[in-house]
Amino acid sequence: MNNEQWGTRAGFILAAVGSAIGLGNIWRFPYVAYENGGGAFLVPYLFALLTAGIPILILEFGIGKKGGGSAPLSWRNLNQKWEWMGWFQVLISFVIITYYSVIIAWALSYTKLSLNLEWGDDTKGFLFGDFLGVTDGVWNMGGLQTHLILPLVIVWSIVFITLYKGIKSGIERVSKFVMPLLIFLFLIITFRGLSLEGAAMGLNHFFTPDWSKVWHYKTWIAAYGQIFFSLSIGYAIMITYASYLPKKSDVNNSAFITALGNSGFELLAGITVFSILGFMAFENNVNISEVAAGGIGLAFVVFPKVINTLPAFNNLFGFLFFGCLVLAGITSAISIMEVVVAAIRDKFNLTRERAVVWVTAVSFSVSLLYATGAGLYFLDIVDHFINSFGILLSGLIQLILFGWFYKLRDIREAGNATSDFRIGAWWEIILKFITPSILLFIYAQNLIGAFREPYEDYPISALLTLGAGSVLLVMAIAWFFTRLSWKHSKSLNKKGVA
């Protein structure tokens, strides 16, 4: 049992929702849905939510609650040979936090830039030129973009202070404040978006189903990818957060609430983004497809353009939009860092405070790499590989181990015993047969794709070192940490059976 605990159930759920709702909801979902069949995307999306999202969330809550600690400790407590998996997940989270923090820092900068619309008319030129100073190739690192350091330090300070204060007075307090604020501010953007001319046309494009896409396997891969990233599953976040639950807590209902809250926000973001894109298309008299974008392009190129074009209150709108990105991102960043902090704390028997200091120092230093002129390239490659190969693999191994080498039923019964409602044997069938088969298929497709068509136009050397290299390095370091001996943590179960 962990010493620290959540103060209230709402606090735990808000923290879990805070982790789930992040940049992925705002800039990833709308575009992924639009590209993959619009309204028709809801079919594979809901299927992925029901077969992977919710069941895995329940599983991770169960692992954390039963395992009683950070990911490596929980895995080890459930089976002595499984510690490596915990470290694998921890290190994936570590890799992600090093660039996720940088994106939040960009958003923070843009929040300030929006006050004077400092990006000018050529928003793309501004982003890649003045702002990021992107070099001509991956292997040309350029210099550190010094103006990015201050926002990055601010982001890290917020994460640091929150984690330093611990679960109840840190993460729980911040989530209880940030999540309602985020939803309130985002709704203002939604209403403004819906009131703009062209909004209806945008929504039409977003929702019009293209059923032919449903028959394409790529649509399904996109749906599963979105669910994993967006719900933060496979990263051991939910394992770590659940380890702070009091013994009698519900897990089943909390998992449903978290998943539905996340999907609800995702849908809201889709409506908001596409009503605004509709306005943009209307103003420029072009087709939606010409203004639609996802990711960095949407947030830092298209949106600044939209903000320039708005009839009134441009700066306020810009401030709200980028402010929302920061708020959504920060609670996710906190959750990823907590995975690493808890693991280091448990393994080396450190106090929370010391673990936070060490982990922040290392993560901050690594994050500076992404603040160089080649940072955007690094980010793009590492993100692609870690998500298509690392996370998916983590999810797959997790299901195989728990489905086939552990009595899943035990976890289900333990959860049922304390939950608002019970879940049936369907849960085991899904986790044992259905979802692993689908993930295996996706993994194979991703591998074949990687060989057939190397990612973007990057040199192979960069894809091998930064891309495949980061995944392999994560595995190797996980092995190294597993080999180190435990420094007598109280919660370590010597027999490896919880």
Cross-strand bridge partners of residue 372: 144
State whether residue 209 is helix, strand or coil: coil
State how far the alpha carbon of 333 is from the alpha carbons of 93, 100, 105, 339, 376, in Å.
10, 7, 11, 10, 19
Q: Which is nearer to ligand PHE, 240 or 482 (CB)?
A: 240
CB atoms within 10 A of CB 374: 22
Q: Which is nearer to ligand PHE, 387 or 493 (CB)?
A: 387
* 327-343 as b/e: b if 16+ CB within 10 A: bbbbbbbbbbbbbbbbb
Q: Minimum distance between the CB of residue 286 and ligand PHE, rounded to whole angstroms?
A: 29
- Phi and psi torsions of 396, nearest 5°: -65, -50
Q: Which is nearer to ligand PHE, 24 or 294 (CB)?
A: 24
Q: Minimum distance between the CB of residue 29 and ligand PHE, rounded to whole angstroms?
A: 8
In the complex, which residues of this chain contact ligand PHE (CB under 6 A)?
19-20, 22-25, 96, 229-230, 232, 235, 237, 332, 335-336
Contacts of 50 (CB under 8 A, 6+ apart): none
Q: Minimum distance between the CB of residue 227 and ligand PHE, rounded to whole angstroms?
A: 10
Q: Which is nearer to ligand PHE, 297 or 454 (CB)?
A: 297
Q: Which is nearer to ligand PHE, 96 or 382 (CB)?
A: 96
Is residue 432 a contact partner of residue 408, using CB atoms and an 8 Å limit?
yes
Distance from C-alpha of 165 to C-alpha of 374, rounded to nearest angstrom: 35
Distance from C-alpha of 367 to C-alpha of 150, rounded to nearest angstrom: 13
Q: Which is nearer to ligand PHE, 224 or 235 (CB)?
A: 235
Q: Which is nearer to ligand PHE, 328 or 423 (CB)?
A: 328
Q: Which is nearer to ligand PHE, 17 or 355 (CB)?
A: 17
Q: Minimum distance between the CB of residue 418 and ligand PHE, rounded to whole angstroms?
A: 26
Is residue 378 a contact partner of residue 99, using CB atoms and an 8 Å limit?
yes
Q: Minimum distance between the CB of residue 226 and ligand PHE, rounded to whole angstroms?
A: 9
How many helices, marked H, and strands, marked E, lie in the chain?
26, 0
Distance from C-alpha of 123 to C-alpha of 117, rounded to nearest angstrom: 10
Is residue 367 a contact partner of residue 98, using CB atoms and an 8 Å limit?
yes
Q: Minimum distance between the CB of residue 237 and ligand PHE, rounded to whole angstroms?
A: 6
Q: Minimum distance between the CB of residue 333 and ligand PHE, rounded to whole angstroms?
A: 7
Q: Minimum distance between the CB of residue 94 and ligand PHE, rounded to whole angstroms?
A: 11
Distance from C-alpha of 411 to C-alpha of 84, rounded to nearest angstrom: 21
